[in-house]
Amino acid sequence: MTGDDLLGRHRRVLPDWLALYYEDPLEITHGEGRHVWDSEGNKYLDFFGGILTTMTAHALPEVTKAVSEQAGRILHSSTLYLNRPMVELAERIAQLSGIPDARVFFTTSGTEANDTALLLATTYRQSNTILAMRNSYHGRSFSAVGITGNRGWSPTSLSPLQTLYVHGGVRTRGPYAELDDRDFVAACVEDLKDLLGHTRPPAALIAEPIQGVGGFTSGPDGLYAAFRDVLAERGILWIADEVQTGWGRTGEHFWGWQAHGQSGPPDIVTFAKGIGNGASIGGVIARAEIMNCLDANSISTFGGTQITMAAGLANLTYLLEHDLQGNARRVGGLLIERLRAVGAQVPYVREVRGRGLMIGIELAEPGTGRAAPEAASAVLEAARAGGLLIGKGGGHDTSALRIAPPLTLSVAEAEEGAAILERALRGLQ
């Protein structure tokens, strides 16, 4: 079966809005370590990891073995029965969360995790008003779309929630961009206070510590701690969406919120993607009084199923035992400095940002500062031609390149990927 045949079949039976990368979409057939292969036999260095989901490595033997052994026993029983792997993974995550008296609920995705967090917050606070960040993304369900502050990923304005959008998720654009970090935070806090003075008390603020789909943008360190002080005075909850930033990817911290943790941990943390290394795991962590506020029965048919929990346990164990957070800090630091050196010589590169192995390269038209989505697409294609897979994102303009390799990335692989990216960027005219 050729790639063209598969593309035609895809278009006949799947939605038109289901996005595909590349002018000639590729089929990935297998992977190993930091590399994948397509159906034509081409090998690629993977710097996107299935949208930050292959966190440790493709075909990691420890995860493969755990999944195989669990599959030979039982795949699934639902949450109506005791489930040892689910309890064991929940215990480890609760301990790592920093949230006192933490409870953990497993879902199948980050979207479902954020849905659950919204259900908990609105029930606990008896309010359907949510604060969210501009340029944010929280999933594709009806409620998650309703709090997404990114026009390109929000197909409807209909929502069961009243959403109010807050400044601060993008440091280098917007009305406060010219301020220094301290004044930027102060301006965003004053804006938040003013907003709260014009609305009924919200249930929560939901925020990604680093905005993923938004192009790996973030406010200054400490922004959400300053927000938390304002929120806590009013009893408003803080939900940290760690779907992309969790598990040590940012290098300096295990959780993205810890760069803003001066006021203590969030009330609720959501997670997904990397913890399963490709297995469908999402979840919510909250202190007991919030998690237990629901007064109706609930289950999760596929959340916490034995085979995904086995994958998550093996993956988390490998990550901790091999200090992949430290590797993300070391190798990611080298990679971002290498890319900044390249960017300084390419007029299209407006900014190289990020931390650890979560790096964004924002492109703009030279001399104007206007977003350059066509340039981003051109670099995406050129990188693939050179044997490298990357992502892209940003606000409505999609002009940022997203770089997020598996956390086992070696220095040699980082240099190889940077060299391919350099050639792709220098090819912009």
User: Residue 261's pLDDT band (boundaries 50, 70, 90)?
Assistant: confident
Q: SS3 string of the chain?
A: CCHHHHHHHHHHHCCCCCCCCCCCCCCEEEEEECEEEECCCCEEEECCHHHHCCCCCECCHHHHHHHHHHHCCCCCCCCCCCCHHHHHHHHHHHHHHCCCCEEEEEECCHHHHHHHHHHHHHHHHCCCEEEEECCCCCCCCHHHHHCCCCHHHCCCCCCCCEEEEECCCCCCCCCCCCCCHHHHHHHHHHHHHHHHCCCCCCCEEEECCCECCCCCECCCCCHHHHHHHHHHHCCCEEEEECCCCCCCCCCCCCCHHHHHHHHCCCCEEEECHHHHECECCEEEEEEHHHHCCCCCCCCCCCCCCHHHHHHHHHHHHHHHHCCHHHHHHHHHHHHHHHHHHHHCCCCCEEEEEEECCEEEEEEECCCCCCECHHHHHHHHHHHHHCCEECEEECCCCCCEEEECCCCCCCHHHHHHHHHHHHHHHHCCC
Share of the chain above pLDDT 90, in %: 93
Summarize pLDDT for 201-232 with one digit per residue, the tens. 999 999 999 999 999 999 999 999 999 999 99
Q: Which CATH code fits 65-321?
A: 3.40.640.10
Average pLDDT over residues 149-176: 91
CATH superfamily of this structure's domain 3-60+323-426: Aspartate Aminotransferase, domain 1 (3.90.1150.10)
Summarize pLDDT for 355-381 with one digit per residue, the tens. 999 999 999 999 998 999 999 999 999
Instruction: Give the model's pLDDT for residue 4.
Output: 64
Instruction: Give the model's pLDDT for residue 315.
Output: 98
User: Residue 35's pLDDT band (boundaries 50, 70, 90)?
Assistant: very high
Q: Where in the chain do CATH 3.40.640.10 domains reside?
A: 65-321
Average pLDDT over residues 23-34: 97
Of 302 and 396, the structure prediction assigns the larger pLDDT to 302
Q: Where in the chain do CATH 3.90.1150.10 domains reside?
A: 3-60+323-426
pLDDT of 2 strictly over 70 = no
